[in-house]
Structure 1
């Protein structure tokens, strides 16, 4: 059985690559943006036709949230149109597809953890292109799996945790947003969850939510990073209005993980436990 992974040099793709040795009964094909550019749907189809995978993990995406505000066409091509093509090919060739989406499909006005049935209403271009990708995929391939996740970090790539570690070593104080609430996701945990689904005896298509357990702000997250690493830097709480960005962020995007835990018997780690594991590797 062959598993094709897009976005193979990203955070999630790199963590899946680390798991390859534990699944010798699968042949993994890792595709980066040079081998399989997700903004070139003709090339995407060509690669799929050549490789004929049994499973596709779409770990690639356009994720530059602020830049997407001025690059909507490119973001839409990668996050929406390419996803539709992956779905069409998978449906036609009876392949299983797992597509990774985002908490940014929500508007952030909820005060309760968001279930898969919660109304989507993205407030930025990135979130809108990801939402359109979900809709297109579920329209053309009803048995596909969409996993929405949030605040992804890893020892690989650029992410919040690595940025905060660098800043707290360079500066005497930093300001971090207090009024955006959610839960981080250690990419290694998400990679393990995806492989558990593929390697199991159950396949139930649909939308699922996954992040680590707990409810925190970016400020709380940074304070814990400081505590674990023993940095001396002062961490000051600020409101989103004090830190304007090109793209709006959801104020509340905590994901309810009940469905994925029930359907696939997934054990979800606490956010601070996973953070300690990641920082020990960094």
Structure 2
């Protein structure tokens, strides 16, 4: 019974406390939220967007130990290296890498609009809930001016296409593919000649073509070689950086008023409670002194 009375008394005291100090509590809470909303509205806006890209760098490198198809680690590291310039506020270096402008002042101004630029892998999950790399990754971009998003996309293409390391390996890769295609064309021509004149038995390293069988035995290797040629030509389409989905030129600013407003509102409420407690303690102390 005593517990029930004490609990009722506590609840009653809390209600009476809030009633006595409702003006302070309401005014502090509303003031905190209003100040935050005004700050969010008046502070410089920033714009968030993302792009899905792929890179052929790992194909150029032809690393035999790498089991991942078109592993994107090198490309991701190159993108994230730009974020280091942003964090150091080395905007001139960033502008040069992205080829923003010949005018240093304009180039530095454009680079300064980048708040953050980061890349992350896009993973797939198998039936065993294990994650695996995919040949694509995502670039997340945060800028102060939405009008420079297109400049950044063009700048990223320049950044990859002008990289000496990438150029060296891409040239070697393209030359190697051209040799493979030429070799395949020569093999196809030879096989077609053999199909016309298949009077003798021929044993090749990759194919066994016998004159006493139908022409299909020669036709099948030709089809295989044609398919292989198409694969090589498809591989030759790999670019240092290729946009699967461009950055969206958004006009909606990221302000997060709701999240911060709720947080500040709660903090303002508790602050008003603390102030009200101190106020009541002080008033009680003054009353005792007057007595």
Scaled by the length of structure 2, the TM-score of the pair is 0.21
TM-score, normalization by structure 1: 0.22
Q: Which has the larger radius of gyration?
A: 2
